[in-house]
């Protein structure tokens, strides 16, 4: 079994994982020669998992449970349905806490809209992806993409995978046709081909018989002239 642990379910004394580290990528885990290995799809390099009971990967905390067998493979899609539960909970603007706080942590008042401004800036602010930076017991992620960049990357990945699959399907179809042609060239009896060959042999036999008849008639004529 493969479990994903939410941040609010983790030990508060452990490192806190950041949503900014999520990459929207799928992952593949395999069990081979006694070790678990993981890679990012479609072409990431394999990495050995040192602690299968709980390890961090790109902002995810993953736990592997149960007994694996040689050759077992799992495909992880942690962000596939991430937006399924998104819905509007508050429809009254007066219920939205959009005011920010000052440096001392005191609310700035109902006329302030710092939180709303920060939400609006999420469209262009780089909050996703980036490299992990460790400083003591804290783990931070340097955002490298905004939401538009991440969406464009996702669309591009889908398009590339679709094109690769179409090319692979065409190549596979051509290979199947070539194999079928090669098989037919060395296969056993083809009834249509055998019928054509037998008919051709029959024509050749009738032609040879006619030549024999002509030769016999000519020979008899020559004997008659001599007599």
- Tell me phi and psi for residue 207, to 5 degrees: -65, -40
Provide the mean pLDDT of the chain: 76
H or E stretch including 138?
strand 138-141
Instruction: Name which of 80, 69, 73 is nearest 38 in CA terms.
Output: 73
Over the stretch 62-99, which tens digit does the pLDDT of each residue have? Answer: 888 788 888 888 888 877 777 777 788 888 877 777 77
Direct distance between the N- and C-terminal alpha carbons of the chain, in angstroms, rounded to an integer: 108
What is the rounded CA–CA span in Å between residue 133 and residue 110?
37
Over the stretch 8-39, which tens digit does the pLDDT of each residue have? Answer: 444 433 344 566 677 778 889 999 888 899 89
pLDDT exceeds cutoff 70 at 5: no
Give the range among 11-20, 45-54, 140-149, 205-214 with minimum mean pLDDT: 11-20
Average pLDDT over residues 188-204: 79
Q: What is the pLDDT of residue 18?
A: 60
Q: What is the pLDDT of residue 9?
A: 44
CB neighbourhood size of 40 (10 A): 16
Q: What is the pLDDT of residue 20?
A: 65
Contact status, residue 29 vs residue 35, Cβ threshold 8 Å: no
Over the stretch 95-120, which tens digit does the pLDDT of each residue have? Answer: 777 777 777 777 666 667 787 888 88
């Amino acid at each position: 079994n493969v479990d994903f642990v939410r941040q609010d379910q983790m030990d508060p004394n452990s490192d806190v994982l950041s949503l900014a580290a999520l990459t929207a990528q799928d992952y593949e885990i395999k069990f081979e020669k006694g070790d678990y290995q993981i890679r990012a799809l479609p072409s990431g390099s394999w990495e050995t998992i040192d602690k299968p009971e709980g390890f961090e990967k790109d902002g995810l905390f993953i736990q592997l449970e149960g007994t694996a067998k040689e050759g077992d493979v799992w495909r992880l899609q942690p962000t596939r349905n991430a937006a399924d539960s998104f819905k509007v909970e508050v429809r009254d603007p007066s219920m939205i806490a959009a005011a920010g706080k000052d440096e001392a942590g005191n609310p700035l008042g109902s006329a302030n809209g710092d939180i709303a401004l920060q939400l609006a800036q999420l469209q262009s602010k780089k909050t996703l992806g980036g490299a992990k930076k460790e400083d003591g017991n804290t783990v931070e992620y340097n955002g490298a993409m905004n939401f538009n960049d991440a969406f464009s990357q996702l669309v591009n990945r889908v398009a590339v995978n679709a094109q690769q699959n179409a090319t692979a399907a065409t190549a596979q179809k051509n290979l199947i046709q070539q194999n079928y042609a090669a098989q037919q060239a060395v296969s056993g009896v083809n009834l249509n081909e055998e019928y054509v060959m037998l008919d051709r042999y029959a024509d050749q036999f009738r032609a040879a018989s006619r030549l024999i008849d002509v030769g016999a008639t000519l020979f008899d004529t020559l004997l008659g002239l001599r007599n």
